[in-house]
Amino acid sequence: MWKLFFRRLLAAVLTLSILTVFVFALLYLYPGDPAERILQARMNGELPSSRDIVDELKKEMELDAPPYLLYLNWANGVLHGDLGYSYVTRRPATTILSESFQATTELVIISMLIVVFFGLSLGLLAAWKEDSNIDNLLSYLAILGISVPGYVTAFVFILVFAVGLHLLPVAGRSGLQSMLMPSASLSLGGVAMLMRMTRCDILEEMRQDYVLAARAKGLGEGRILIKHIFRNSLPPLVTYLGLELGGLFSGAIIVENIFAWPGIGQLLVDSVQSGDIPMVQACVLIIGVIFICINIVVDLLYIYIDPRIKPEGVL
Amino acid sequence: MSHRDLDILKENIQGNKKILMGSGIIGIVLLIAILAPLIAPHDPEAIDLNNRIASWTADYPLGTDYMGRCLLSMLVYGLRLSLIIAAMVLFARVTLGTTLGLIAGYCGGTSDRLICRIIDFELVFPDIVLALVLVGTLGPGIPNMVLALSIVGWSKYARIIRSTVISVKEKGFVESARALGVSEGYIMRKHILPNSISPLIPMVTLGLGGLLLSVSGLSFIGLGVEAGTPELGMMIKNGFSAFPGHPHLVLVPSAVIVICVTGFMLIGDGIRDLLDPRKGNSFNSF
């Protein structure tokens, strides 16, 4: 178990270093001179008046150094929690990032709870009532749920609950009420996917011989369903939930933009649009770290839930 | 006919029903996209400021948007453009994924390890974030968007192809081809590849649906096509600015996206149901 953990960790560090190179390279991928960009952002979009100011800034920020030195310098800062300063607000990127991270995490956790609760229970219901009208209805609703993009759901919610019924605030972050529409529109696709997977896995497990054996032993149906069937269908679901958690973080990008939710998604889009490179780098880095962590946890959980998997088999 | 056979038959029909429904939807959608110049009554980019947010008339069957552009024409051309972008990206992704998967699976060794590492990295990171950052960096526009979306999202195809190739290359016919002195390149192209691509079929249809969502999503947040281009996501973005007075400007293009994606999902789902041997409902069981 520990050996596997360290191997996974090593792989994660490797992935992370590839990520940092990509993130750093963004500085050069952006068209134009970084120094000019910084000045432009500081002066509300006006181009710097003379070359001298640009050169001065270059010297000040040591932007003329060769890229690998700049990279090492930057990576050293990252390791010490220093992600540089936002070109636009000139506040430390780490501070801005931690505020946004908190907002996004709130949203994602609530959405995840919705996904797990409704996904699992509707999936169990569909499997239990296999081929009934409810099952058929749910299966078509699931396809619809996957096909509707988050911003469309969001729009319909706003139209009905905020504009039509005046029940919920249109946008912003002000308590639990303001969280209902964003998390509902964020989690719809996940609920649909998890429901389908749960149904499929449970049905497959129900046809296994051990269910027959358990029944022959005289165990109650409820006990068989929960302790045997459900437990055995968990491993693929856990992997899926890991993916879904990641999916919620990336889905949050669009949903946050609609509801003016001050999270990482909105920060990323704003920073990309204004060319605020340190903030873009910070966002991409944190999203990458989140995804890498999720992956490690899912792999380890997988082994914990299904001891039949040999650690060697995973890698 | 036993009860089990009846079940299998029913499941097959259900699978086919999905495929039939999906194909019907996609058939109509493709027809509309191909015939766009004939269907659209106006130039989708023609601005008529005297006729802003007009309601339904004989001249403008669906009314106009906030710039006085014909909604129906924009919708038809937007659908066409979104589909073309999605198809181009999908083609690039499948080509890239298949090539890398084939090399990794067939050659093994160092190239396999290297490609697997890249696949791992690509799988870990969400497509939309990388694409968004790349479009933001390169600037909006169709070529940049196609490029950004093609660089990401290929790894799932590569992974499937790799694992299929690994099992196919051990088969007898590969051995005999090699014994006949056929070159490795020829074996890869003519023997391994055709026998490895079937798992991609449902993935490709599902992928098209997903890509339509990504393309319109990127345009929606302003990091896709250039402003003013008739594209479904861009239309929704523009509709939001006329909100809340005229919800149909958002709802109509949204409905078109949802119908398209549902069509692709139904086909992909139906094919997967039929191909999935675990469910025991393949055609052989009759």
Residue B223 in contact with partner chain A when CB distance is under 8 A: yes
Structural domains counted in chain A? 1
Other residues' Cβ atoms within 10 Å of the Cβ of residue B214? 24
Which one of B220, B244, B266 has the shortest CB-CB distance to A143? B266
Q: Under an 8 A CB cutoff, do B216 and A18 touch?
A: no
Q: Is residue A41 part of a domain?
A: no
From the centroid of its chain, how far is CA B223?
19
A102 has a pLDDT exceeding 80: yes
pTM value is 0.80
| Min distance B221 CA to chain A CA atoms (Å) | 7
**Per-residue pLDDT, B96:** 92
pLDDT in tens, chain B (286 residues): 455 655 665 666 565 777 888 888 888 888 888 887 777 777 777 666 666 666 666 666 666 676 667 778 888 888 888 899 999 999 999 999 999 998 888 888 888 888 888 887 787 777 888 888 888 888 788 888 898 888 888 888 888 888 888 888 888 888 888 888 888 888 888 888 888 887 787 788 888 888 888 888 888 888 878 777 788 888 888 877 776 677 778 888 888 888 998 888 888 877 777 766 444 333 322 2
User: Residue B240's closest chain A neighbor by CA?
Assistant: A155
CB pairs under 8 A between A and B: 109
C-alpha dihedral sign at A141, A232, B272, B199: positive
- Partner A, chain B 158-197, Cβ-Cβ below 8 Å: none
Query: For residues A266 and A76, is the Cβ–Cβ distance under 8 A?
Result: no
| Min distance A148 CA to chain B CA atoms (Å) | 5
**Per-residue pLDDT, B13:** 59
Reduced to 3 DSSP states, what percent helix, strand and coil does chain A have, rounded to the nearest 5? 80, 0, 20
Residue B245 in contact with partner chain A when CB distance is under 8 A: no
How far is Cα A99 from Cα A81, in angstroms, rounded to an integer? 15
Q: Is residue A305 part of a domain?
A: yes
- Among A296, A245, A270, smallest CA distance to A107 is for A245
Q: Is residue A126 part of a domain?
A: yes
Query: For residues A157 and A169, is the Cβ–Cβ distance under 8 A?
Result: no
How far is Cα B286 from Cα B276, in angstroms, rounded to an integer? 16
**Per-residue pLDDT, A89:** 74
Q: Average pLDDT of A173-186?
A: 79
- Identify the bridge partners of residue A92 per DSSP, sorted by sequence position: A85
- Amino acid residing at B48: D
A300 has a pLDDT exceeding 80: no
Which tens digits make up the pLDDT trace of A106-139? Answer: 889 999 999 999 988 888 888 877 778 888 888 8
- Partner B, chain A 90-129, Cβ-Cβ below 8 Å: none
Helices then strands (H, E): number in chain B? 13, 0
Q: Under an 8 A CB cutoff, do B217 and A152 touch?
A: no
Residue B250 in contact with partner chain A when CB distance is under 8 A: yes
Which tens digits make up the pLDDT trace of A61-88? Answer: 666 677 777 777 777 777 777 777 777 7
How far is Cα B204 from Cα B162, in angstroms, rounded to an integer? 16
A307 has a pLDDT exceeding 70: no
| ipTM, two decimals | 0.77
Query: For residues A185 and A153, is the Cβ–Cβ distance under 8 A?
Result: yes
A53 has a pLDDT exceeding 80: no
Which one of B117, B209, B222 has the shortest CB-CB distance to A147? B209
**Per-residue pLDDT, B195:** 80
Say which CATH number the domain at A142 has. 1.10.3720.10
User: Residue A245's closest chain B neighbor by CA?
Assistant: B126
Q: Under an 8 A CB cutoff, do A284 and B258 touch?
A: no
Q: Under an 8 A CB cutoff, do A18 and B121 touch?
A: yes
Which one of A144, A149, A163 has the shortest CB-CB distance to B257? A149
Residue from A87, A140, A155 to probe the interface with B (highest B Cβ count within 10 Å): A155
Q: Average pLDDT of A173-192?
A: 82
Q: Is residue A257 part of a domain?
A: yes
Q: Which residue has the tokens 């007075």?
A: B245
Query: For residues B173 and B191, is the Cβ–Cβ distance under 8 A?
Result: yes
User: Residue A256's closest chain B neighbor by CA?
Assistant: B221
Other residues' Cβ atoms within 10 Å of the Cβ of residue B174? 18
Q: Is residue A161 part of a domain?
A: yes
Q: Under an 8 A CB cutoff, do B262 and A147 touch?
A: yes
Give the domains, in start order, of chain B with CATH numbers. 20-30+70-276 (1.10.3720.10)
Residue A163 in contact with partner chain B when CB distance is under 8 A: yes
Query: For residues A75 and A17, is the Cβ–Cβ distance under 8 A?
Result: no
Q: Is residue A155 part of a domain?
A: yes
Could you list the residue range(s) of the whole structural domain that residue A282 is in? Answer: 94-314
In order of B41, B67, B73, the CA distances from B61 in angstroms are 9, 16, 9
Query: For residues B105 and B161, is the Cβ–Cβ distance under 8 A?
Result: yes
**First-residue to last-residue Cα distance in chain A:** 13
Residue B139 in contact with partner chain A when CB distance is under 8 A: yes
Which tens digits make up the pLDDT trace of A134-154? Answer: 888 888 888 888 888 888 888
The full DSSP string for B52-78 is TT----SSSTT-B-TT--BHHHHHHHH
Q: Under an 8 A CB cutoff, do A268 and B236 touch?
A: no
In order of A8, A12, A227, A235, B157, the CA distances from A302 in angstroms are 13, 17, 17, 6, 23
Q: Is residue A80 part of a domain?
A: no
Q: Is residue A310 part of a domain?
A: yes
